[in-house]
Structure 1
């Protein structure tokens, strides 16, 4: 992903999970925060799909277990750009 796309993904994570602006999310993993529970996970998936105009398949939704995995998944949808 391009640096600006990574920053957009960071913003999606911060906004969706209720984190402060500038909060570190690169090492964040599923259930590391109370907000990233099963419902928070689905909110995060929806926010990612909206922000990047992509549609994640079921396997990707299940595999999205960290910020790093989210970046890899979104990067594939964006053509690795």
Structure 2
């Protein structure tokens, strides 16, 4: 499984959506299941999967599926 597949799988499992739902419109505040608890679960799962530790600023600004890709790239994760 490549990194993009891992990233998608985490979103699909936490938010119970298909891969088709994951695009630039998948945004915190617009996705019903993306509440603060789901957000912290997402962060923890991503940190475990990619063996990184997010800075507080990145946790706060991680507000969309697309934005998450850019944040992970800053940590050296190739997607």
Q: Please report the TM-score for the alignment, with normalisation by the length of structure 2.
A: 0.83
> Equivalent residue of 2:72, what SS?
helix
Does residue 75 (structure 1) correspond to residue 65 (structure 2)? The answer is: no
- 2:5 maps to which residue? 7
Q: Is the 8 A contact 2:50 2:77 kept in 1?
A: no
- 1:24 maps to which residue? 21
Deviation at 1:79, TM superposition (A): 5.5
> Equivalent residue of 2:43, what SS?
helix
Deviation at 1:74, TM superposition (A): 0.8
- 2:44 maps to which residue? 46
Report how many aligned residue pairs link the two structures: 77
